[in-house]
Copies of this chain bind each other. A is one copy, B any other.
């Protein structure tokens, strides 16, 4: 019954540098019953080594979606989860992979969501800017002595936990809201910034902080399409009024 949902969860690697890792990720995705692999600007092409490591998950590699940029990868997604190293200190909704909130679990089950689960570079992880474009940060519990997992191993653990959630019939169904996509959120933010500038509330040169905070608020709120429409209408009204 959750098959449809599983298929809509895309595991996205950002600038992976080892082709073997890409193959091992493809295998882990298929082992856990998922189908979609996305890759942002791979630093190596998908080589023989990748196919060798993918074993019977060659189809996942063949169908991998290649993106030109991080933003392109998340454009059409409305639930974006990032795996993040423990030491990050950005205040952001953060969960251990095996202890997500009921709300997130319900969102992961919702067939209305297009979900991305994002993994950073082998050497540098995800940038703060990239992390702030995600709704939820996931942390893998590890030994403090040596917390750095191999990329495909991290994906294996996350996919294992998400599989469990998608198959868990005890999770209360969400109200299946039509959540706005990342692209729609970006447009709202742009619109809002325009309005704030017009009404002299916000000076883009002096306060990058304000934009970051509003962006964070938007990410947390996860507006649905109807709320988005109301806010956009409201902003348009203010713009008209100012003229």
Which residues of chain A have a CB within 8 Å of any CB of chain B? Answer: 24, 27-28, 30-33, 53, 55-57, 98, 141-143, 145-150, 152-153, 156-157, 160, 163-164
How many copies make up the complex?
2
Contact call A141/B156, Cβ cutoff below 8 A: no
- Kindly list chain B residues whose C-beta atoms are within 8 Å of the C-beta of A147: 31
Q: Judging by beta carbons under 8 Å apart, are B31 and A149 in contact? A: yes
Residues of B within 8 A of A160 (CB): 141, 157
Residue of B nearest to A167 (CB): B141
- Sample of 8 further A-B pairs with CB below 8 A, known A28-B149, A57-B146, A98-B164: A24-B153, A27-B150, A27-B153, A30-B143, A31-B153, A141-B163, A150-B152, A156-B157
Which residue on chain B has the smallest CB distance to residue A97?
A: B160
- Using Cβ atoms and an 8 Å threshold, which residues of chain B touch A163? 141, 143
Instruction: Find the B residue at minimum CB distance from A27.
Output: B150
What are some 28 contacts across the A-B interface (CB < 8 A)? A24-B150, A27-B146, A27-B153, A28-B149, A28-B150, A30-B145, A30-B146, A31-B142, A31-B143, A31-B147, A31-B148, A32-B143, A33-B145, A55-B148, A55-B150, A56-B146, A56-B148, A57-B146, A98-B164, A141-B160, A141-B163, A143-B163, A149-B156, A150-B152, A153-B153, A153-B156, A156-B156, A157-B160
